[in-house]
Amino acid sequence: MKSIWKGAISFGLVNIPVRLYSATERETVSFNMLYKKDLSRIHFKRVAESTGNEVPYDEIVKGYELEDGQYVVVTDDELKEASPEKSSTIDIQEFVSEEEISSLYFDTPYYLEPEKSAGKPYLLLRDALTKSKKIGISQFVLRNREHLCALKAQGDVLLLNTLRFASEIRAADELTIPQKEKVTANEVNLATRLIEELTGKFEPAKYHDTYSEEVKKLIEAKAKGQKRKAPPKKAATGKVVDLMEALQASLKNTKKRAA
């Protein structure tokens, strides 16, 4: 893995030099746009709406559109002045319980690795976070953008999770949630039983990105000149009107699978 940030964690008067690594990688199948007749690559041009002519890159400026349709032009130098200074430290400002943070706020996870000279303080912070069951809250700049982040112990590793700011979270009050409909105690009991029947240990490795897998199989088959059969589609289920009937049937099916 290649580190994407180098700095230090500041924990009171303790300084822990670390490197930051991406903890995830996205599985995607990318395609190029081609001309159907000869499979040559398609390229896009920067064309001015007013003239229809292609515009050189050095004649393009950035503009923010106002409500009245007018634009405010902002230069690269002005944006550079407004951008936050790059962080060299992750200063832990406070510690909180992870349960206090809604899952809405969690964004991207990163691994933190100690520099060779920082093994002991790294382990100290990791073990103290594990024992206290707390996570550290901080702000730092990564790739010219300021991030709110949570620092936690994840097994043997310190994990940094970027968090969304409160201003980035949309309110749910615009959603239409039924208020007049009532759920009976029997329905809740049956639904709870169904949840208990389906409860197991989370094993992420058993879940797969089936779409990407099928697309890769399709590409491999076509590259060999083979025609791949489409996977069978799941039969559509009919609309169930009686909620109790649906819950009871679900419980029966679950018990049959378990048997």
What distances in angstroms separate CA 91 from CA 5, 10, 17, 94, 132, one per listed residue?
15, 5, 12, 9, 19
Would you say residue 117 lies in a domain?
yes
Residue 61 belongs to some domain of the structure? no
**pLDDT tens over the chain, length 259 residues:** 899 999 999 988 889 999 999 999 887 888 999 999 999 999 999 999 999 999 999 999 999 999 999 999 999 888 877 766 666 889 999 999 999 999 999 999 999 999 998 999 999 999 999 999 999 999 998 887 889 999 999 999 999 999 999 999 999 988 998 888 888 899 899 889 888 888 888 888 887 878 788 888 888 887 888 877 766 776 655 564 577 788 788 877 777 666 5
Q: How many domains does the chain have?
A: 1
Please report which helix (H) or strand (E) contains residue 247, including its range: helix 243-258
For residue 195, tell me if it sits in a domain.
no
User: For the sheet containing 5-11, what is the strand order?
Assistant: 89-91, 5-11, 14-22, 106-114, 157-163, 145-154, 134-142, 94-97
In a domain, 94, yes or no: yes
Is 227 part of any domain? no
| CATH number of residue 93's parent domain | 2.40.290.10
Note the pLDDT tens digit of each residue in 186-216.
989 988 988 888 888 888 888 787 878 888 8
pTM of this structure: 0.75
Residue 127 within any structural domain of the chain: yes
Please indicate, yes or no, if residue 110 is contained in any of the structural domains: yes
Is residue 205 one of the residues assigned to a domain? Answer: no
Range of the domain at 9: 5-26+85-168
The CA-CA-CA angle for residues 242, 244, 249, to 5°, reads 95
pLDDT digits (tens, 9 = 90+) for 10-22: 988 889 999 999 9
